[in-house]
Amino acid sequence: MHTRTIPTLLLSAALTAGVLATTAAPAAAADTAATAEASFADQLRAIPGVTVTDVTDKDGYPLYSLTITQPIDHSKPELGTFGQRFSLWHKSVTKPVVFYTGGYGLSSATREPTTILDANQLSVEHRFFGPSRPADVDWSKMTVWQEASDEHAIVEAIRPLYDKSSKWLSTGGSKGGMTQTYHRRYYPEDVDAVIAYVAPNDANNHDDKGYERFFETVGTKECRDALNAVQRAMLERRDTLLPKFEVMAKEKGYTFTNTLGTTDRAYEFAVLDQVWNFWQSGTAADCPTVPDAETVSDDDLYTWSLGHGLSVYEDSSLGANGSGPYYRQAAAQLGWADLKFKHLKGVRHYPDIYQPNSVLPADMRTSYNGKAISDVDKWVRSDSERMMFVYGQNDPWSAEQFEPSSHDSYKYIVPGSNHGARISALPADQRDEAIATIKRWAGQ
């Protein structure tokens, strides 16, 4: 991203914020804005434990890249520290602050609530993802409470830079929505409200009826039957399709020895995830593309599957530097959908493979404890305040949802939407209602 000079950047920011009065001399106004921005930057740099690593321009406002020193264990700070990345898109100390996490690596992309409110945006990388980790990772310290405590520390560090009247709202999608919900549970005073998008809530990991019901009702019966038939054909034709999978793996340099173990296991895992991925990223409009499993050739079946949900799980993308930290969290606390796959009876080789430990290196595998997630679920239902949940009707991750309390909290289902559900896609009356609520929470 191109870095603009300070005077030009600050002049643009001042114009957008309405700082320049029509009777003010442009040079004097620019100097005033520059002084204010320099003061804000100096305050950022003066925060103990916070380092400004870069400043770039984003749409006429400074985007600060930062790190904060966090304890590896907030209950035992003597165990050492690590640097956690975050960013701050700063517009004005009087505007609302939207606090965002995607639940994975750092992303500073503008979020929907930020646009709705014309807000500042504070974005954080989840602990132990990317470079936000100690040299030697103790994965037992990657819990929902530890991450909530990381976010609490960031809020406490940054909040004093903004006016006391500025409202703070947190947001995130999918695992990010879960993360902000957990943050709200443990530190309910940190932000004024939460807008969580497509946030799964596996409150009881032993009960997957919600997921089973989803795959029995999503879309039309014709589409469901066609997808199930294709999935079964992928395993029935294993002898002819697995070699294609192995050739692709060799060409791309994929290995499976550290996680799934063999290409056969990796192939079956990919097939089991195929229908889930179809609905997660696609829509009912993709249903006419599903081939006839009885007549389609091996080549066409495999090619169609690659473009519609057959995701390859391989060592380099699953370890500590890939999606491994997510699967570790799923195995430890977040839970997973242990689907029965009744339509695949007799063609599966590995009946217990569909769980997160299967795709983790041995040193990251763990046992499940759902106490924290169950506690959050109960708290959201009964005691939480000012929380909004947005789900997609045809999104498998939305099959098990948070249920908001009656305390100024709401839930919306976007018709026909997948894992990319947004408030802007709601029916007009619901969209306007949700936006009005967000603006009210933000004091606008």
The predicted-structure confidence for 199-247, as pLDDT tens digits, reads as follows 999 999 999 999 999 999 999 999 999 999 999 999 999 999 999 999 9
The model's confidence at residue 427, banded by pLDDT at 50, 70 and 90, is very high
Q: In the prediction, which pLDDT does 354 show?
A: 97
CB count in 10 Å sphere of residue 437: 18
What integer pLDDT is reported at residue 28 of this predicted model?
52
pLDDT of residue 233: 98
Rounded to an integer, the average pLDDT of 280-286 is 96
* pLDDT for 58: 97
Average pLDDT over residues 85-114: 97
pLDDT at 36: 63
Q: Tokens at residue 371, please?
A: 């106490």
Model confidence at 13: pLDDT above 50: no
Find the mean pLDDT for residues 424-443. 98
Q: Is 56 helix (H, G, I), strand (E, B) or coil?
A: strand
pLDDT of residue 32: 56
Task: Specify the pLDDT at position 14.
Answer: 32
Segment 113-151, tens digit of pLDDT = 999 999 999 999 999 999 999 999 999 999 999 999 999
Q: In what order do the strands lie in the sheet with 50-58?
A: 50-58, 61-71, 81-89, 120-124, 97-101, 168-173, 193-197, 387-392, 410-414
What's the pLDDT at 35? 62
Q: How confident is the model at residue 1 (pLDDT cuts 50, 70, 90)?
A: very low
What pTM, to 2 d.p., does this model score? 0.91
Q: Is the pLDDT of residue 49 over 70?
A: yes
List Cα–Cα distances, 119 to 114, 126, 432, 434, in angstroms. Answer: 5, 22, 18, 17
pLDDT at residue number 22 = 37
The predicted structure's pLDDT at residue 435: 98
Residue type, 139: W
Q: Could you tell me the pLDDT band of residue 27, with boundaries at 50, 70 and 90?
A: low
Instruction: Please determine, for residue 8, whether its predicted confidence score (pLDDT) is greater than 70.
Output: no
Contact 311, 277 (CB under 8 A): yes
pLDDT, one tens digit per residue, over 54-65 is: 999 999 999 999
What residue type is assigned to position 418 of the chain?
Answer: N
Across the range 270-282, mean pLDDT stands at 97
Mean residue pLDDT of the chain comes to 92
Return the amino acid letter for 210.
G
The angle subtended at Cα 210 by Cα 209 and Cα 214, nearest 5°, is 110
Structure tokens at 48: 């103990």
